[in-house]
A and B are shown apart, each in its own frame.
Chain A
């Protein structure tokens, strides 16, 4: 099975027409890849479907807006993938 990062990078490449080889674990989805909020909804949708989770985008956005978190914590891809792994694990634990 491919890694979470590989799956997310493929989703981003296909959803936003970004060359796959330019997407790295250290890429910031917004600052480096130029993904806007509307495109990110498509990515979130694909991630939700592929991993069977619900990315808490509203909570993350609120935390960033309130200064309680930085965009790097959620939108640098290695960090995003770590969040996804946590959500998948939590889902498995509650199943």
Chain B
């Protein structure tokens, strides 16, 4: 995880395009300027970053389902619950599934676990847009490579 770049996801553990599910891992760093303010003496991952992590896990899933032909953009957080704190050094395991695939949009359900215990869950809505330019498409290809996106899921 590189918080300063908003790189929340480190590794794709399992991607099942046919079942429309994904499992990814995200290693929370032990140190970050974010934890200096949130909070001194009791550092913990901000809830909004947990939501962002679930959005990125869902985003990778949708990229796989759509074979990188569309870019998912977070549009709505239908429901999000932070059920327990996530601390520096924790290894988060995130699961996401597609709840509905509409025309130009999709909804996912995502969860975060640490040590098998549920820490957060959410229902998210994404608009699915054409890649606006080659720079963004190239960047996402590089991101896919960084997180170990299965190559067969990238190529149409």
Q: Enumerate chain A interface residues (CB-CB to B < 8 A).
A: 38, 41-42, 44-45, 48-49, 54-59, 61
Q: Judging by beta carbons under 8 Å apart, are B103 and A57 in contact? A: yes
Q: Check if B76 is an interface residue, CB within 8 A of chain A.
A: yes
Residues of B close to A59: CB separation below 8 A = 103
46-75 of chain B: CB within 8 A of chain A = 75
Q: Check if B125 is an interface residue, CB within 8 A of chain A.
A: yes
Bound: A54/B125 CA distance, A: 16
Bound: A41/B104 CA distance, A: 9
6 nearest A-B residue pairs (beta carbon):
A58-B104, A57-B103, A58-B103, A41-B105, A56-B103, A57-B104
A52, chain B: closest CB distance, angstroms? 12
B102 CB contact (under 8 Å) in A38, A44, A61: A44
A90, chain B: closest CB distance, angstroms? 15
Max count, chain B CB within 10 A of own CB: residue among A42, A45, A54, A56: A45
Residues of B close to A57: CB separation below 8 A = 102-105
B100 CB contact (under 8 Å) in A38, A48, A61: A48
Bound: A44/B104 CA distance, A: 11
CB closest chain-A residue, reference B125: A41
Bound: A4/B133 CA distance, A: 41
A46, chain B: closest CB distance, angstroms? 10
Q: Check if B107 is an interface residue, CB within 8 A of chain A.
A: yes
A29, chain B: closest CB distance, angstroms? 16
Q: Judging by beta carbons under 8 Å apart, are A54 and B107 in contact? A: no
Bound: A65/B11 CA distance, A: 40
Residues of A close to B105: CB separation below 8 A = 41, 44-45, 57
16 A–B contacts from the bound complex (CB under 8 Å): A38-B75, A41-B102, A41-B125, A42-B76, A44-B102, A44-B105, A45-B102, A45-B107, A48-B100, A49-B100, A54-B102, A55-B102, A57-B102, A57-B103, A58-B104, A59-B103
A80, chain B: closest CB distance, angstroms? 14
Max count, chain B CB within 10 A of own CB: residue among A41, A44, A61: A41
Other A-B pairs beyond A41-B125, A48-B102, 17, CB < 8 Å:
A41-B75, A41-B76, A41-B102, A41-B105, A42-B76, A42-B125, A45-B105, A45-B107, A45-B125, A54-B102, A54-B103, A55-B102, A55-B103, A56-B103, A57-B102, A57-B105, A58-B104
